[in-house]
Structure 1
Amino acid sequence: MPAVEAIDLSGLSAPAGGSQRLKGHLVRPEGRGPWPGVVIAHEVLGVNDVMLRHAERLAGAGYLTLMPDLFTEGGARRCLIPTIRAAISGTGRAYQDLEAARSCLLAQGDCTGAVGLIGFCMGGAFALMTAGRGDYDAVSANYGLLPKDLDVLADACPVVASFGGKDGTLKGAADKLSATLERHGVVHDVKEYPQAGHAFLNDAEAGPRPLLPLFRVMNIGPDPDASADAWRRIESFFATHLRAPRTAPRT
């Protein structure tokens, strides 16, 4: 299993207007590179064991994977609301923090120069907001809120997205997103899993123990069948769009 390495991204985030302190979790695939890179935008619960296993899974699939901790400065209590606002509005220091992670990957000697972004929950919203900015070669958005103005996706990179049909917060999101990407001619793979709820890609329940019964009632939690299919689609999509030879490096 690839090992998770704690790194300091502050030197990249702070000068660019991001967090003054920013921790990251880097996972290198086993063997010899170079490899494409993937930035992970974590869920609303922050960096936890489930998110770290997502990083390990992507590294196991052959991606140099880096997850910045968007709650480094002050923890979830102080950072949660501003970070959610940033995800929805499209502005805020979290975007500079994600950019710091992307820049860090590009600076690695064993990165091919192709970089994708994958987001879960809150991170899924960041993935969609970022898709049209021209920085990434592909994004994966998983049960993330859609941008208020879907036309920000007009020039989006290839998008693979997954939603749960029992996710009450995102009713109709898959159809709206798919229609928008189709209208703009964006390469995409969007799917809704009728039997799944929110956070269905997680391989275990996550969150404060007292809230777990509430999460179950709200259909928040793992769905192994939907998860297996979604991961298959994500890995296939990234293999297509991140492993092709690049004509020029991103900066």
Structure 2
Amino acid sequence: MRIPLPDSGSLAATVALPEGVPPADGWPGVVVVHEIYGVEPDMLDVLDLFAARGYAAVLPDLYSHGSRVGCLARAMRQLATGRPGQPAADIDATRRWLAGRDDVDGDRLGVIGFCMGGGFALAYAASAPPGVRAASVNYGMVPRDQEELRPVCPVVGSYGGRDRGFRPHGARLKEHMRALGIEHDVEIYPDAGHSFMTDGHHPVAKLALFPLSHGNVRPAADDAWRRTFAFFDTYVAHPE
């Protein structure tokens, strides 16, 4: 499917909905922001996990504006500078589309991201978008300046202790959340590395990114998903 963009054009996206009839006030919703590898099967699995939990889930393809290489280069540059630019606009267009559905409660939304998408999800949540009540940041980049995160909603995050590239970001996220007094649940799993929460098979990444100890670690993944869903159920699906 395609999501219309404010100025012109559209964004490719995939949607997964819970089974059955939506409740009178609509399902809670979640925007899934993919890893650096793009819309891979493991990211589509995330959609199904949320749909099975009763969330309307949508995954925008951040690389659907042109060539994959060009989109990736632009996205990484924007992430490194802390100015998400087009990715933030794409995530916001996706949120607006999701919130506008008749079967979704636009006041009960969350955003979750992985790797590159984790950094984008955090930056987007820090812009205080309407209806977004929780953000899940998984092995994503965290800004050094904690003031950039002052407006952020409650955050749940998971990082790998063997991930030498992103482990410091997990510690930084926990420190920022404590200092700012923001509700959070951030864990660093000692036996896990990068991308440990999904079943993606990226053999090139395992060779090229060996300092990250790339790959699925099932015990850590199971616990991370348990915490993530518990957090979203508390702050998104059933807010006080």
Same fold, TM-score > 0.5, yes or no:
yes
Task: Give, as a single letter, the amino acid of the residue that structure 2 aligns with 1:20.
Answer: G
- Spell out structure 1 runs of 4+ moving beyond 3 A: 209-218
Determine whether 1:192 maps to 2:188.
Answer: yes
Whether contact under 8 Å (2:2, 2:13) holds in the other structure is yes
**1:1-251 residue pairs with structure 2 within 5 A?**
7-9=1-3, 11=4, 13-15=5-7, 20-33=9-22, 34-88=26-80, 89-113=82-106, 114-135=108-129, 136-206=132-202, 209-215=203-209, 218-244=212-238
1-structure distance, mates of 2:149, 2:205: 35
Give the gaps of 5 or more residues in structure 1.
1-6, 247-251
Alpha carbons of structure 1 residues 165 and 49: separation in structure 2 relative to 1, 3 Å? same
Moved more, 236-245 or 80-89: 80-89
2-structure distance, mates of 1:238, 1:204: 23
> Alpha-carbon deviations, 1:185-235, whole Å to 9, x = none?
1000000000000000112323xx555444567411100011000000000
Whether contact under 8 Å (1:155, 1:186) holds in the other structure is no
Percent of counterpart pairs with the same letter? 36
Give the gaps of 5 or more residues in structure 2.
none
- Residue 45 of structure 1 aligns to a residue whose secondary structure is coil
| CA-CA distance at 1:245 after TM superposition | 5.5
Alpha carbons of structure 1 residues 218 and 20: separation in structure 2 relative to 1, 3 Å? same
RMSD: 1.8
Tell me the TM-score normalised to structure 1 length: 0.87
2-structure distance, mates of 1:218, 1:134: 31
Whether contact under 8 Å (2:38, 2:62) holds in the other structure is yes
Whether contact under 8 Å (1:128, 1:147) holds in the other structure is no
2-structure distance, mates of 1:217, 1:94: 27
2-structure distance, mates of 1:237, 1:227: 15
Whether contact under 8 Å (2:84, 2:123) holds in the other structure is no
Tell me the TM-score normalised to structure 2 length: 0.91
Task: Give, as a single letter, the amino acid of the residue that structure 1 aligns with 2:183.
Answer: V
2-structure distance, mates of 1:148, 1:139: 18
2-structure distance, mates of 1:150, 1:235: 26
- Residue 177 of structure 1 aligns to a residue whose secondary structure is helix
